[in-house]
A and B are shown apart, each in its own frame.
Chain A
Amino acid sequence: MEFLFGQMLGFASAFADLVVDPWTYVYLISSVFLGIVFGALPGLTATLAVTILTGFFGNKIPLDYALIALLGAYVGAIYGGSYPSILLNIPGTAASAATAMDGHPLAKQGRGAEALGLTTTASFIGTLVGTVALLIFVWVLLLISKNIASPEKALLALFGILLSGTLMSEDLAIKGWIAGLVGLALAMVGMDPILSEARYTFGWSYLLSGIAVVPVLMGAFAVPQIIDGLRHMEVGKMIELTGRILPNFASIRRYLPTIGRSGVIGTGVGALPGVGEDVAGWVSYGVGKAVSAEGDKFGKGSLEGLLCSETANNACIGGALIPLLVLGIPGSPPAAALMGAFKINNVIPGPTIDPAIILRVVAIMVLASFTMFVMGLFTARVFIKILRVPQTVFLPLIMVLTTIGSFSVGGGLNDLYLMLGVGAVAYLMNLLKYPIAPLVIGVILGGMFDETFRRTLLLSDGDLLAFVSRPGAAILVTLNVALILGQMPIAKRALTRMKGRTV
């Protein structure tokens, strides 16, 4: 009880600091607005919104304000994806793909305004659920993570890369692992963290300081999207809204258990390293369909189905921040961009993070969700108008934003060349169905993995048993091995046989 009281007091203080600062509103309103616009425009994603703002604000304003801008855009973009899902049947972001399943049929029945009102409310509640979980669990995990030493850190980084590779791969899991290894390989470039020996610099002095995170983020997330999006697309006929966009409190009350369950699922999925809001939305939708009495109505315009996906994808944000803040492992692709912002500000998320930063993040999340809620209810028609802007007009502007954002982070022209190179590779990887998120997570965690893995060996005089001699490390080794073995055909066949027997 005392713990909770202390937490609430810390949060209240951080919230009050935020509320009385007029600059908060400047950054918050503009970033939430921009986030919703990015989410609403098909072809632009939440990851892109946070990535571009990282390049733009990451190291140009104090971290306190940069966090407002980045988290505001993150919350706004995940919510914004529901507009085209409902009105056009085109998900604005991958996170809102499940929203289209019931949102669009509802709009076709003339209940578009009701659907938008509900998604706004569900997104708001979902964000708050994730934020509350962040406030509570981050501290519990931080206490546990004080016992984490080099072997556990190395194995956690490996687990994050492997898990994100497994879950984010559309095709074979090994493609996700390969992407993660490519990211790790990129992180090996430059001076090694223990002996300061130059690796793979090919005589280019720029590479001595290693591969910069922001150009990699821009190259991996923005450039392929620009290349892929510059094609003629017939935007479907937008369904006209009738009536006002208002929260339907009767429906909210009726589906409160669904909202609660979806919030918990979203937070849990978000907490898995590298797994994003899209997975959260689909998992929650799948669970909802399986357990709901109205499961047969899912996909035909069910309010419950809509609430399942929308609550979960926004709750995922808070969940994704838990591993980021506690362990320094991004919980989702946009969280990887946030990690980039921390890195360029020389803040190292993990057990040693300043607690004030966590409380500020929580306070920003609460304020951002309020802003999103108010904007969603009162300025929805502005976003609906923006939906009509074709991506072939918007993406050239994004290219210029990406260029200047990447240039001004510090590396200048070299960063731009790196961004273009990574962009070309990422585009090819997309084409060949290799996921990009594990690559970025590999780049971000590569330095930590290298340093902690070698430090463990150094302290144990090269004894590999150091990786299993501590209970935490042994558990992580087991998880890593299980993750790899679980993808082997023999294991998959055995699992299928076992499932067959139980059914």
Chain B
Amino acid sequence: MDRFEKEEALALAQLRARDFWSALVLIAVALFFLWKTSGLSLGVHSGAGVSSAGWYTSAAVVPFGIFGALLALALVLLTISIRAGGAAQAMSALGLGWNPQEARRIGAIGLILLSYIVGLVPRVDFILGSALLITALICGFHSRAGRGALVPVLALVLAGGFALLTYPNQTEWARSGDDWVTLLLLIALTFWHQRTGGRDRAVRLTPVLALGLPLLLICAMAFGFRQNVPNRGGLIFSKIEYTYYVHLRPLWRS
């Protein structure tokens, strides 16, 4: 067996071990939803001595079929995995496919995206929040690739966490305290990125991209396409909106 064949066999063994876990998860999901589906009306309804409907009218018919098929296929996958030795290797490092470096990378991206979507987008000015996201991602995964993304992750988590914990309720989302914190973190991260990121052209252009693109997008959405945009009361966008409607628009409306 040559090196290529060995690598291929190893990859297949790892995949089958992972299939073992995914089959178990799918079985659990299918069983849970079959149980939830059993809570739906099964269509056989009798009232005042009259049977009004058959099983085939039920909203549960198709879901039963789908989750039943899912359960059956998950069992087939489990069998394939066990036959290929997936169960035996499921708990080994090979089966879990654990790669600490990759886990750190995905964990960092996951935290950044979660902080951005759950913490920043609803509460913080979109331009500032997105600028922080772009700076953090370029800083962590372009200029500092392989050197760890702890500082960019911390900046995002701090900004998102502060916004989420200080203003948890929707009635408070228009307040600007979290906007200022995000702005400060953006400035700090930008300086740090410029100092430590090397002389790459992408590093030098990061602030322009980080502020320019969200600014362009939100203005296009709000004033060009007249669409709903996140957090209209944000620190920068509220000023832009005020200027647009009070000073600019009357110029061509009149």
Bound form: Cα–Cα A392–B121 in Å: 22
**In whole Å, how far is B100's beta carbon from the nearest beta carbon of chain A?**
15
Main secondary structure of the interface of A (DSSP, over half): helix
Q: Is B182 an interface residue (CB 8 A)?
A: no
- Could you give, for residues 462-494 of chain A, a 1 whenever the CB lies within 8 Å of some chain B CB and a 0 otherwise? 100000000000000000000000000000000
Given A185-B63, A200-B36, A403-B121 contact (CB < 8 Å): yes
Bound form: Cα–Cα A174–B76 in Å: 8
Q: Is A38 an interface residue (CB 8 A)?
A: no
Interface members, chain B 127-170 (any A CB < 8 Å): 130, 133-134, 137-138, 141-142, 145-146
- Could you give, for residues 429-453 of chain A, a 1 whenever the CB lies within 8 Å of some chain B CB and a 0 otherwise? 0011110000000000000011001
**In whole Å, how far is A107's beta carbon from the nearest beta carbon of chain B?**
25
Are A457 and B73 in touch, CB under 8 angstroms? no
Are B61 and A454 in touch, CB under 8 angstroms? yes
Are B62 and A392 in touch, CB under 8 angstroms? no
Bound form: Cα–Cα A79–B62 in Å: 41
B70: chain A residues at CB < 8 Å are: 178, 181-182, 185
Number of interface residues of A (CB under 8 A): 58
Given A230-B109, A413-B122, A188-B63 contact (CB < 8 Å): yes
**Minimum CB distance partner of B222 in chain A:** A408
**Minimum CB distance partner of A403 in chain B:** B121
Are B213 and A397 in touch, CB under 8 angstroms? yes
Among the stretches A68-76, A191-199, A286-294, A306-314, the one at the interface with B is A191-199
Given A171-B15, A232-B141, A178-B26 contact (CB < 8 Å): yes
Bound form: Cα–Cα A400–B96 in Å: 32
**In whole Å, how far is B94's beta carbon from the nearest beta carbon of chain A?**
15
**Minimum CB distance partner of B218 in chain A:** A404
Are A397 and B209 in touch, CB under 8 angstroms? yes
Q: Is B88 an interface residue (CB 8 A)?
A: no
**In whole Å, how far is A401's beta carbon from the nearest beta carbon of chain B?**
7
A393: chain B residues at CB < 8 Å are: 138, 142, 202, 209
Q: Is A231 an interface residue (CB 8 A)?
A: yes
Q: Is A416 an interface residue (CB 8 A)?
A: yes
Q: Is A366 an interface residue (CB 8 A)?
A: no
**Minimum CB distance partner of A193 in chain B:** B59
Are A175 and B77 in touch, CB under 8 angstroms? yes
Q: How many A-B residue pairs have CB under 8 A?
A: 158
Q: Is B41 an interface residue (CB 8 A)?
A: yes
- Could you give, for residues 92-124 of chain B, a 1 whenever the CB lies within 8 Å of some chain A CB and a 0 otherwise? 000000000000011001100110111001100
Are B217 and A404 in touch, CB under 8 angstroms? yes
Which of A61, A181, A185, A457 is in CB contact (< 8 Å) with B56? A457
Bound form: Cα–Cα A177–B73 in Å: 8
Given A230-B109, A420-B114, A462-B138 contact (CB < 8 Å): no
Are B225 and A60 in touch, CB under 8 angstroms? yes
Q: Is A390 an interface residue (CB 8 A)?
A: yes
Bound form: Cα–Cα A373–B209 in Å: 30
Among the stretches B2-10, B184-192, B226-234, B245-253, the one at the interface with A is B226-234
Bound form: Cα–Cα A453–B117 in Å: 38
Q: Is B240 an interface residue (CB 8 A)?
A: no
A174: chain B residues at CB < 8 Å are: 73, 76-77, 80
Q: Is B74 an interface residue (CB 8 A)?
A: yes
Are A392 and B229 in touch, CB under 8 angstroms? no
Q: Is A355 an interface residue (CB 8 A)?
A: no
Q: Is B177 an interface residue (CB 8 A)?
A: no
Are A192 and B114 in touch, CB under 8 angstroms? no
**Minimum CB distance partner of B77 in chain A:** A174
Additional 9 contacts, C-beta under 8 A, given A194-B59, A230-B109: A182-B70, A184-B66, A197-B59, A200-B36, A227-B113, A393-B209, A412-B228, A416-B117, A420-B118
CB-based closest 8 A-B pairs: A232-B145, A396-B137, A392-B142, A457-B56, A462-B56, A192-B59, A60-B225, A408-B227
A-B contact pairs, 6 of them (CB 8 A): A171-B15, A200-B33, A392-B142, A393-B142, A396-B138, A403-B117
